[in-house]
Amino acid sequence: MGRPDTRARIQGAATVLFRRHGYSATGLKRIAAEAEAPFGSIYHFFPGGKQQLAEDMIRTSGPEYGRLVLALLDSVPDPAESLVHAFEAAAADLAAADYADACPIGTVALEVASSNEALRAATAEVFEQWVDAAARWFGRWVADPEAARSLACSMIVMLEGAFMLSRAARDPEPLRVAGRSMAALLRTAVARAGES
């Protein structure tokens, strides 16, 4: 298979660098160097420069990451066990990346929430897409749409918070704890639904 085209290399390098280092600490020269692309090609493909590139990364990698999480959740038949499995996989991936590669959206979202409206809005849209998709997944076991949405929101909150704690401590345990907690929340919601 041939080498990815220049635009794809720029997108890939930007995704990795923004995820690892954040928006402010990632310069266009570094992206060009990592992509092995001429500096001017960034502006050829992304005339809006760094902000357009970051927005593209958010809108492209966000849905991809969401699909990855849902695929992990669908890989184990029991829903509570699948939650534990998905968080365990996230813990293993984070540890394997030496705690450098967490959520592609969370790193940027924390940094730009109060300083860049366009990027804040893009991250908010991606998070909303994740909650909607997760609510549909939880809806398979919890008929009440409000309860399913609450579980979905809790899962995203726990995942993002656990990434932050795991990265700070350089320890995968917060992700494992979050997975077990989500499994317990789901079991409780299913039991309550059965009592109704």
Mark out the alpha helices in the chain (DSSP H runs): 6-21, 28-35, 39-45, 49-73, 79-96, 106-112, 117-138, 145-169, 173-195
What is the pLDDT averaged over residues 42-68?
93
Radius of gyration of the chain (CA): 18
Which percentage of the chain shows pLDDT scores above 90? Answer: 82
Query: Which one has a higher pLDDT value, 85 or 110?
Result: 85
Domains of the chain: 55-195 (1.10.357.10)
Instruction: Give me the pLDDT at residue 1, please.
Output: 46
CA dist., res. 52 & res. 15, Å (int): 13
3-state secondary structure string across 156-189: HHHHHHHHHHHHHHCCCHHHHHHHHHHHHHHHHH
pLDDT digits (tens, 9 = 90+) for 120-148: 999 999 999 999 999 999 999 999 999 99
Q: Quick check: pTM over 0.85?
A: yes
Kindly report which listed range (42-46, 112-116, 131-135, 172-176) carries the lowest average pLDDT score. 112-116
